[in-house]
C-alpha cells in the first residue's frame, strides 16, 4: 500500500471534511479533503490486472470492493477523524469497465471487463453492419467501439452460461464501478441502491444523450434486457447512506466518471474550458455548455456533469487509450526501466528520438481514429536507435497524441486552446510536460492539487450536501503550481508532427476480419 501526501487533520483545523473514493484502473484510493480543497489524508491500494488472452483485460470486482473498504478505513484513520467529521462521500471511477452481479447473493457472475479490453471488436463490426454506426453516434454521442460498456454486457450475456435467462428474470444487475461501489456501500444484498450517474451512463452506448435515459431502441438492437440497468441519477445528490463500517451513516452524495470528475476538480465550469488527465490513458475534455456538440473529427460527445436538478453540462472528449500504461509496459514487460519515474532520466540522456516513433495502439486507436484493427508499432528504427531514444519516443507519443486531440477539438468547437490544464500521475514528469508544451505550441499548467479526480468527486458531493455553496467557491480554491511554455522551433515541430502522423498510418489494418 502506498501512502502519499499524507498530513494530519490537525494542520487543517477540526473539519468538517469530505471523503472521495477513486476506483481507478490500476488502484483504488480514498482522499479526505478540507473546506479549502486541501488534501488531509490519502490511502491507496493497487489491484491485479488480469490478461487472460491478447487484448483481454479483466479485474476481480470482489478484490476491488475489499480494497475500497480498506482504503476508506486507511484514509479516515490517517486523518484521525470519525464518521461525524465527514459530511459526505463522493465516488469517482474508471469508466466503461463492466460488471454483472447477482442481486440476491451480491456475487459477480464474471470478472469485470475493463475499458481497454478488445474482445468485442468483431461484435462491434457486426452491430455496425446490422444497426449502423450513425445511429449510435446520433443517439449516444459515441462511435460504436469495443471501449464502451454496451457491447461488453452483450458479450457476457452471450458467453456466461445461463446468464441471459437470469438477467431476463431480473436476478442480475449491471454496473460500472460507480454502481458497484455505491450498491455495496449502501448495504449490498441488504437494500443497496442500484444507481449510476449521468456521466457514467453516457459511456455505455445505451443512454440517449438528449433524453438522458436508457434508449429502448438501442437496447433492443444490442439485445440487452432493461431489467439489468441501474437508475440514472445526477452527478451530485444523495443516493443513500453508508450502511456499515468506519463511515456508517454518512451520505453517499456524488458519482462521476473519473475524467468528468477531473474536469469538475479543475473547475472547468465555463464553456470552452478544458483539462487533460495523464494516467493509464489520457483524456482531454472541454466543457461545451448546456447543449451537446456533435463531433465531425473523431471526438466523443459526452455528459460533463449534472448537479442535482440543474441542466446538464456537456463536454467534447478526446480519449487516448495508452499513455501511462506504455510507461508501465516499458517497466514491467520490457524491463527497460525500474520505475515509472526513471523514464525521464533515461529519455533525458539523449537529445532527441534518434528517428524513432512509437505508436502504442495496444487497444487499437481511440480518438480521433476509432480503429479497432490497429496495433502498436515502433517506426523509423535503425541500428543507431538506443533504449534512451525509445524512452524519448514513448514520452513523445503522449505529446503527439494530445496534439491530434487538440487539433480535432479546435475544429469541432471553434475554440483555440490558449493554455492546457493538466493533472494525473504522468504530470510529475517535467520532460514530458515540456515536450507537451512544445508539441501543442501552448502553455501547459498544473494546479496545486494534482489529485483533481478525487477533488472533483469531493466538490460534487460537497455541493450536494451544502458543504460548499456554489461553484464560485470551488473556483477560488484553484491554484497554479507549475507552468511549461513552448521552446521548440516551428519548423522542427512541423517536421516531427508529420513523421508522427506517418507512423500512425503504419498501425492500421493489422487485425483482419477473420482474426
Ligand atoms: N514520472 C513519470 N513519468 C511517466 N509516467 C509516469 C510517471 N509517474 C507515473 N507515471 C504513469 O502514470 C500512471 C499513473 O498515474 P495515475 O494518475 O495514478 O493513473 P490512474 O488514475 O490511471 O491509475 C501510470 O501508468 C504510470 O506509468
Ligand atoms: O482509471 P483511469 O484514470 O485510467 O481512467 C480510465 C478512464 O475512465 C477510461 O475511460
Atom of ligand 2 nearest to the CA of 95: 8
> Distance between CA 220 and CA 218 in Å, rounded?
5
The number of the ligand nearest the C-alpha atom of 452 reads 1
Within 186-316, residue ranges assigned H as helices are 198-201, 216-222, 258-265
Could you say which ligand is closest to the alpha carbon of residue 367?
Answer: 2
Cβ 24 under 6 angstroms from ligand 2: yes
**CA–centroid distance, residue 293 to ligand 2 (Å):** 22
Which cell is 401 given?
497524441
Strand order in 420-423's β-sheet?
A: 300-305, 313-320, 282-289, 274-278, 420-423, 444-447, 480-484
Atom of ligand 2 lying closest to residue 281 CA:
4
- Ligand number with the minimum distance to the CA of 95: 2
- Give me the helices (H) in 147-268, please: 149-159, 163-168, 177-185, 198-201, 216-222, 258-265
Contact, 284 vs 274, CB < 8 A?
A: yes
> Rounded to the nearest whole angstrom, what is the distance from the C-alpha of residue 258 to the centroid of ligand 1?
15
Inter-CA distances, 440 with 142, 399, 417, 433, Å = 26, 8, 9, 11
Select from 462, 456, 427 the least CA-distant residue to 444: 427
Mutation probe of ligand 2 site: the residue of 21, 25, 275, 278 with most atoms within 8 A of C-beta: 25
The closest residue, in CA terms, to atom 5 on ligand 2 is 94
Question: Annotated binding residues for glycerol, as ranges?
Answer: 95-96, 147, 258-259
pLDDT at position 13, please?
A: 54
Rounded to whole angstroms, the Cα distance separating 401 from 111 reads 31
One of 3.40.50.2020, 3.40.640.10, 3.30.420.40, 3.40.50.920 is the CATH number of 17-259, namely: 3.30.420.40
To test the ligand 2 pocket, which listed residue (23, 29, 44, 95) has its Cβ within 8 A of the most ligand atoms?
A: 95
CA of 486 to the centre of ligand 1 (A): 23
Strands 377-379 vs 357-359: parallel, antiparallel or unpaired: antiparallel
Contact 340 CB / ligand 1 (< 6 Å): yes
Residue 515 confidence (pLDDT): 53
CA of 227 to the centre of ligand 2 (A): 27
Q: For residue 275, how far is its CA from the centre of ligand 2 (angstroms)?
A: 14
Q: What is the pLDDT of residue 12?
A: 53
Atom of ligand 2 nearest to the CA of 203: 10
**Distances in Å between the alpha carbon of 418 and those of 261, 403, 486?**
22, 13, 12
Does residue 208 contact residue 214 with C-beta atoms inside 8 Å?
yes
DSSP string over 392-453: HHHHHHHHHHHHHHHHHHHHHH-PPPS-EEEESGGGG-HHHHHHHHHHHTS-EEEES---HH
Dihedral sign from CA coordinates of 75, 80, 84, 85: negative
115 CA to middle of ligand 2, Å? Answer: 8
> Which residue, judged by its Cα, is nearest atom 18 of ligand 1?
425
Q: Which three cell numbers stand for residue 384?
A: 543507431
Binding residues for sn-glycerol 3-phosphate: 25, 95-96, 147, 258
Indicate the burial class of 330 (C-beta count within 10 angstroms; 0-12, 13-18, 19 or more).
buried
| Residue from 200, 205, 255, 283 whose mutation best tests the ligand 2 pocket (most atoms within 8 A of CB) | 283
Cβ–ligand 2 contact at 318 (below 6 Å): no
In 3D space, the residue among 250, 246, 214 whose CA is nearest the CA of residue 91 turns out to be: 250
For ligand 2, the distance from its centroid to the CA atom of residue 135, given in whole angstroms, is 26
What residue spans define the domains of the chain? 17-259
The reply to whether ipTM tops 0.95 is yes
Enter the pTM of the model: 0.91
User: With a 6 A CB cut-off, is 108 part of the ligand 1 pocket?
Assistant: no
Residue-level pLDDT at 372: 84
Q: Is 277 in the pocket of ligand 1 (CB under 6 A)?
A: no
Q: How far is the CA of 146 from the centre of ligand 2 (A)?
A: 15
Residue ranges at the known binding site: 25-27, 29, 95-96, 147, 258-259, 280, 324, 328, 425, 429
Question: Grid coordinates standing for 126?
Answer: 457486426
Whether ligand 1 lies within 6 angstroms of the CB of 328 is answered as yes
DSSP letters along 446-472, please?
EES---HHHHHHHHHHHHHTTSS-SHH
Cα 97 to middle of ligand 2, angstroms:
9
Which pairing describes strands 236-241 and 231-233: parallel, antiparallel, or unpaired?
unpaired
Residue by residue, pLDDT tens for the chain (515 residues) are 233 334 444 455 567 999 999 999 989 999 999 999 999 999 999 999 999 998 899 999 999 999 999 999 999 999 999 989 999 999 999 999 999 999 999 999 999 999 999 899 889 988 888 877 788 888 999 989 889 999 999 999 999 999 999 999 999 999 999 999 999 999 999 999 999 999 999 999 999 999 999 999 999 999 999 999 999 999 999 999 999 999 999 999 999 999 999 999 999 999 888 999 999 899 999 999 998 999 999 999 999 999 999 999 999 999 999 999 999 999 999 999 999 999 999 999 999 999 999 999 998 899 999 998 899 999 999 999 999 999 999 999 999 999 999 999 999 988 888 889 999 999 999 999 999 999 999 999 999 888 899 999 999 999 999 999 999 999 988 888 899 999 999 999 999 999 999 999 999 999 876 55
How wide is the angle at C-alpha 197 spanned by C-alphas 220 and 75, nearest 5°? 140
SS3 labels along 331-382: HHCCCCCCCCCHHHHHHHCCCCCCCCEEECCECEECCCCCECCCCCEEECCC
Residue closest by Cα to atom 10 of ligand 1? 426
Q: Which atom of ligand 2 is nearest to the CA of 258?
A: 8
Q: Say if CB 369 and CB 416 are below 8 A apart.
A: no
Question: Does ligand 1 come within 6 angstroms of the Cβ of 301?
Answer: no
| 4 Cα to the center of ligand 1, angstroms | 14
Amino acid at each position: 500500500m502506498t501512502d502519499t501526501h499524507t498530513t494530519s487533520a490537525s494542520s487543517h483545523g477540526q473539519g468538517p471534511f469530505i471523503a472521495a473514493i477513486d476506483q481507478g484502473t490500476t488502484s483504488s484510493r480514498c482522499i479526505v479533503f478540507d473546506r479549502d480543497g486541501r488534501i488531509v489524508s490519502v490511502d491507496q491500494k493497487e489491484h491485479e490486472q488480469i490478461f487472460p488472452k491478447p487484448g483481454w483485460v479483466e479485474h476481480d470486482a470482489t478484490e476491488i470492493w475489499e480494497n475500497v473498504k480498506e482504503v476508506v478505513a486507511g484514509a479516515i484513520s490517517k486523518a484521525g477523524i470519525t464518521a461525524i467529521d465527514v459530511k459526505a462521500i463522493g465516488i469517482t471511477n474508471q469508466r466503461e469497465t463492466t460488471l454483472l452481479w447477482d442481486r440476491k447473493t451480491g456475487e459477480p457472475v464474471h470478472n469485470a471487463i475493463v475499458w481497454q479490453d478488445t474482445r468485442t471488436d468483431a461484435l462491434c463490426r457486426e452491430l455496425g453492419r446490422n444497426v449502423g454506426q450513425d445511429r449510435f453516434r446520433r443517439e449516444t454521442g459515441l462511435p460504436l467501439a469495443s471501449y464502451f460498456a454496451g457491447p461488453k454486457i452483450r458479450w457476457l450475456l452471450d458467453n456466461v452460461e445461463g446468464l441471459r435467462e437470469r438477467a431476463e428474470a431480473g436476478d442480475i444487475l449491471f454496473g460500472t464501478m460507480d454502481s458497484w461501489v455505491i450498491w455495496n456501500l449502501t448495504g449490498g444484498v441488504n437494500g443497496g441502491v442500484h444507481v449510476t450517474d449521468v456521466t457514467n451512463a453516457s459511456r455505455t452506448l445505451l443512454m440517449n444523450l438528449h433524453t438522458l435515459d436508457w434508449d429502448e431502441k438501442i437496447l433492443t438492437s444490442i439485445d440487452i434486457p432493461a431489467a439489468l440497468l441501474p437508475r440514472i441519477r445526477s452527478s451530485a445528490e444523495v443516493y443513500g447512506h453508508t450502511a456499515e463500517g468506519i463511515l456508517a451513516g454518512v451520505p453517499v452524495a456524488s458519482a462521476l466518471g473519473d475524467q468528468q470528475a477531473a474536469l469538475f476538480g479543475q473547475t472547468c465550469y465555463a464553456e470552452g474550458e478544458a483539462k487533460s488527465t495523464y494516467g493509464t490513458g489520457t483524456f482531454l475534455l472541454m466543457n461545451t455548455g448546456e447543449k451537446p456538440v456533435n463531433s465531425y473529427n473523431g471526438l466523443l460527445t459526452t455528459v460533463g456533469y449534472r448537479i442535482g436538478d440543474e441542466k446538464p453540462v456537456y463536454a467534447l472528449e478526446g480519449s487516448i487509450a495508452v499513455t501511462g500504461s506504455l510507461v508501465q509496459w516499458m517497466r514491467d514487460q520490457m524491463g527497460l526501466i525500474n520505475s515509472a519515474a526513471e523514464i525521464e532520466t533515461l529519455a533525458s540522456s539523449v537529445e532527441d528520438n534518434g528517428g524513432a516513433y512509437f505508436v502504442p495502439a495496444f487497444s487499437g486507436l481511440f480518438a480521433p481514429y476509432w480503429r479497432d484493427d490497429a496495433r502498436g508499432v515502433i517506426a523509423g528504427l535503425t541500428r543507431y536507435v538506443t533504449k534512451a531514444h525509445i524512452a524519448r519516443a514513448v514520452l513523445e507519443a503522449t505529446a503527439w497524441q494530445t496534439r491530434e486531440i487538440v487539433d480535432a477539438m479546435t475544429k469541432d468547437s471553434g475554440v483555440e486552446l490558449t493554455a492546457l490544464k493538466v493533472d494525473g500521475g504522468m504530470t510529475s514528469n517535467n520532460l514530458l510536460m515540456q515536450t507537451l508544451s512544445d508539441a501543442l505550441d501552448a502553455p501547459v499548467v498544473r494546479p496545486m492539487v494534482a489529485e483533481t479526480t478525487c477533488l472533483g468527486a469531493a466538490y460534487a458531493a460537497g455541493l450536494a450536501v451544502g458543504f460548499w455553496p456554489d461553484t464560485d467557491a470551488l473556483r477560488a480554491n484553484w491554484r497554479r503550481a507549475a507552468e511549461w511554455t513552448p521552446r521548440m522551433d516551428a519548423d522542427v515541430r512541423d517536421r516531427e508532427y508529420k513523421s508522427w502522423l506517418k507512423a500512425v498510418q503504419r498501425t492500421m489494418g493489422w487485425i483482419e476480419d477473420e482474426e
